[in-house]
Amino acid sequence: MTPSSDGLAAVEFQTNWLQVLQTDFMQHAFLGGTMVALAAGLMGWFVITRQNAFAAHALAHIGFPGATGAILVGAPVTLGLAVFCVGGGLLIGLFGSRGADREVATGTVLAAATGLGVLFASLAAANASATTSVLFGNLLAISSGQLWVFGGFTALVVLTLAVLARPLVFASVDPAVAEARGVPVRALGIAFVVLLALTITMAVQVVGTLLLFALVVTPAAAALRLTARPAAVAGLAVVFAVLSVWIGLLLSAMVDLPPSFFVVAVATLIWVASLAATRERTRTWPTPAPADQPLVPARTS
Amino acid sequence: MTITSVDRTTARPRTDDALVLDGVRAVRGGRTIWSDGSLRVPTGAIVGVIGPNGAGKTTLFQLVLGLLPAAEGRIEVLGGSPRRGDRRIGYVPQNYRSAVSDAVRARDLVTLGLAGTRFGVRRISAADRARVDEALARVGATGYAEQRMSRLSGGQQQRVAIAQAIVDDAELLLLDEPLANLDLRHQHEVVELLGALREERPVTIMVVAHDLNPLLPVLTDAVYLLDGHPHHDRIDEVVQEDLLTHLYGTPIRVVRTPQGDLFTRGG
């Protein structure tokens, strides 16, 4: 890829893209990206239902100083990200669940963390490109060591979600009743934040801090537009997330540009398509509301 | 009808009471909400829980649900100490409608009332599904069971909430303002449903309400929070002009229509 005269990178079709797909870094990217998409797709429904989208976004930013700090001291980026995301998540969780308080607390922690990230990044000035890959993701730089970590995280997220599924759904959609029914709402909330932090730790390395929303929230949002059946939403969200990563990587191999853009673009297109598809349906929807059935059987006396 | 009247003054055996308070003081956030709560709610009653805003009606429910411990005194719910997660209690919280998200269908919500506390990956059994169908049918919600909660009207959402509360065969139903924000027709339907439920099964129903009128046709008893203390009495002892006027701090008249229906009105 040679810079053209006006400073734009030349975008051209790579005739050897099939070979590119067979390289180690592409194989790693596909494998790692798929695992992240699986975890992110499953978590998305809960993020939306628990109205945690902003917290998810903030957690990614909280991971930023973790990553740049790790670069600064020469520790693995994944470790730095994980420590900061989990820590930040617990911190946000401690601020309680009262809407407005939580928004302010989350936003403040987010800003403070981003500031710290900038500080670490400038202290580690020699590694500016590493900072860029934290912000925008670098799916093509996933090592086999990272793959093992991703595998462990994904297994943990999927298995834990499977075990917690029903009480977590209950606590997410109907917290007051769930608590009265004996569901450990608060403990589940903390468990959820940890799972979210692990998912974000992975996702940041795929699409970066700034684009994370597209992988953790957007696929589930699109799925939710199309259906409300819980199993179908989970399945569709995973399919959408995986498709975004796969198609994104494929396009990236074809034109030799970073995959983050394509991953996010595909996710966004799927979401827009889901909006369009359901708008069609709402137009035909106003069928008369199904008539209420009589509540009380007719008195026989 | 062979039994036309029941002597309500006879002392009932303890097991006959769905709820017993004995010298209970309710404290929330370091503040005493009410005190000296001593009362018995008989099994099978439909009880209006009334009192001005902030008197502690919802707090009473929290004590019964075991979400808040009594600062003083003894509480007995269905023959035992209040216990969070008691499956014999069905609960519909206040502002239920605004809390319900776009993400679930009516059927899912009712299913959670049955299986929402189960950890693990077991599938919902056919028997459980049948119970969910039955509860949905009982409240007349079969027609919109597959709809998202957010697409339903307020009255429909309230019915689904009640279906969730009864799906596990609750012996005690706690409904916090189930008629709030419902139009008259839907209020009437919910009230009728409560009366019918009571006729079908030995359930005790406690309803927090700021307006007694729509509930009067089915209420048998009332718990009223007066001057910082909860009291229990039969409904006709409570629907008295001086008591209600004192309770709400504004003049209230009690009117009996020629058909024998009671209602109250301001002024």
Q: Which domains does chain B have, with CATH numbers?
A: 16-88+170-266 (3.40.50.300), 98-169 (no CATH)
State the SS3 of A193-219.
HHHHHHHHHHHHHHHCHHHCHHHHCHH
Q: How many structural domains compose chain A?
A: 1
Note whether A167 contacts B142, CB cutoff 8 Å: no
**What whole-number percentage of chain A has pLDDT above 70?**
86
Distance from CA of B172 to the nearest CA of A (A): 13
The arithmetic mean of pLDDT across residues A32-44, rounded, is: 93
Note whether B195 contacts A176, CB cutoff 8 Å: no
**What whole-number percentage of chain B has pLDDT above 70?**
91
Residue A8 is predicted with a pLDDT of 62
Distance from CA of A236 to the nearest CA of B (A): 14
Identify whether A300 is part of a domain. Answer: no
Over the stretch A73-111, which tens digit does the pLDDT of each residue have? 888 888 999 999 999 888 877 765 556 677 787 888 888
Note whether B103 contacts A166, CB cutoff 8 Å: no
Identify whether A301 is part of a domain. Answer: no
Identify whether A56 is part of a domain. Answer: yes
Residue B218 is predicted with a pLDDT of 93
Identify whether A219 is part of a domain. Answer: yes
Note whether B92 contacts A177, CB cutoff 8 Å: yes
Q: Is B47 within 8 Å of B205 (Cβ atoms)?
A: yes
Does residue B1 carry a pLDDT above 50? no
Distance from CA of A22 to the nearest CA of B (A): 37
pTM over 0.90: no
Identify whether A80 is part of a domain. Answer: yes
Identify whether A288 is part of a domain. Answer: no
Identify whether A134 is part of a domain. Answer: yes
Full residue range of the structural domain in which residue A242 is found:
17-278
Question: Which CATH number characterizes residue A245's domain?
Answer: 1.10.3470.10
Over the stretch A70-83, which tens digit does the pLDDT of each residue have? 888 888 888 999 99
Note whether A289 contacts B153, CB cutoff 8 Å: yes
The arithmetic mean of pLDDT across residues B15-27, rounded, is: 90
Within 8 A of B137 by CB-CB distance, chain A residues are 293
H runs (alpha helix) in B65-153: 96-99, 106-115, 126-138
- Here the ipTM equals 0.87
Over the stretch A224-235, which tens digit does the pLDDT of each residue have? 999 988 889 999
H runs (alpha helix) in chain A: 17-21, 24-49, 53-73, 77-94, 99-123, 128-136, 144-173, 175-180, 185-207, 213-216, 218-226, 230-255, 259-284
Residue A159 is predicted with a pLDDT of 96
**A48: nearest CB among B65, B103, B120:** B103
Does residue B5 carry a pLDDT above 70? no
Residue A184 is predicted with a pLDDT of 94
Identify whether A6 is part of a domain. Answer: no
Over the stretch B190-223, which tens digit does the pLDDT of each residue have? 999 999 999 988 899 999 988 888 899 899 999 9
Over the stretch B62-85, which tens digit does the pLDDT of each residue have? 999 999 999 999 999 999 999 999
Q: How confident is the model at residue A284 (pLDDT cuts 50, 70, 90)?
A: very low
